[in-house]
Amino acid sequence: MKKLLFISLIFLFACCKNDDVDPNTTTYTVPAGDHYSTFDLTLLGNSVLEFSFTTDSSWIWPEPEHNGYSKVCGIAWNSNHSNSVRIVYMRSNDIGVLGYYYYLNGVSPMENDSLWGVMDTVEIGKTYYCRLGWENEFYFIRMGDKNHSHKVPEKPNGWTNLQHPYIGGTYTIDHDWKTTVKWR
């Protein structure tokens, strides 16, 4: 009987295998009331990320009282508050805004206005193609036909790691935020 049950379970899993799942696509979820998405530390072998992400209805929430940017995706060298490049998102005046910000040698975008800015407004259901990181002496972000760069003559030191979706530091939202990323 145990053998039959075991063989049945193997058959069930084999039949239910989803061949349509793209191994290069990851859906990150920041649970309602939390800041962090579901993820493991992901070390990277280079200083550039290429990916796309698609927005959905979970990207809509009321503008919080203490508004700030939420991280969509990024790359960091050692600590994310030391040296990093990020695409970020904010709800403002009932629209979504995509932007960028950098940490440079421990200096935050709150301390230096040249380290952040707005790139685009969000269309729900749209896919945004991105490339970001450090190369040729610049931090850079390319999102579709929009670009921004900041001169950083020396490559940041340390191991590179993926920066996962994160809801802004002073607030949370009342529903799960989902970010689907396809790695290139």
23 band by pLDDT with thresholds 50, 70 and 90: confident
21-27: average pLDDT = 86
- Domains by residue range for the chain, with CATH: 36-183 (2.60.120.200)
Q: Which amino acid does the sequence have at 105?
A: N
pLDDT at 33 over 90: yes
Q: What angle do CA 11, 15, 18 make, to 5 degrees?
A: 140
Q: Report which secondary-structure segment, H or E, holds 162.
A: strand 160-163
Which pLDDT score, from 0 to 100, does residue 11 have? Answer: 32
6: tokens are 């075991």
pLDDT at 103 over 80: yes
pLDDT at 3 over 70: no
20-37: average pLDDT = 90
Which pLDDT score, from 0 to 100, does residue 20 have? Answer: 54
Model confidence, pTM: 0.84
142: tokens are 């390319």
